[in-house]
Amino acid sequence: MSRKLVLNGNTLRSGDPTLKLDLPWTAHPSIIITATSPGDLKWVYLALPLHNDDKISGVTIYYQNSGKLSFISQTRIVLQTTPDVAHVVHDDPTDLHSTAPASYTSAVGGIVVKGSAVLELRLLFKNTTDWIKIGAIEIKYN
């Protein structure tokens, strides 16, 4: 039986010192990500609270960009047990360009969780005035 786990984008994290993650408040209900310097390879991470042997079939990202030049450029799922190695088990290079609230579903194909599962989103920022908003993140699994 297929199940859905819906997580909030507010739990995204990053160790990148050039990224700023603004948590919601009364002026906006979602996390807003900006960059203090433009560039590619800016990653945010979300731990997925799944069990060993769960099978991930899809990931849906609800998002919005301030413009078409800054966007989510990659969706990954990584599995990890030991602290020195992480295995990329799903890698979707689809660029998410919508400037209106939108969703994108990445078909994962039944990856079996072994260890911890982490969703990684690669961001590309063309300008420091651009932003990317992320709302819900839905994980389909069984």
Q: Give all domains of the chain, ordered by start, each with its CATH number.
A: 3-141 (2.60.120.260)
101 and 64 Cβ atoms separated by less than 8 Å:
yes
Output the pLDDT for position 1.
83
Per-residue pLDDT tens over the stretch 40-57: 999 999 999 999 999 999
- What pLDDT, on a 0 to 100 scale, did the predictor assign at position 27? 87
- pLDDT for position 55: 98
Mean of the pLDDT values across residues 2-31?
95
Please give the angle made by the CA atoms of 31, 93 and 84, to the nearest 5 degrees. Answer: 80
pTM of the model: 0.96
pLDDT single digits (tens) 99-114: 999 999 999 999 999 9
The whole-chain average pLDDT of the chain stands at 97
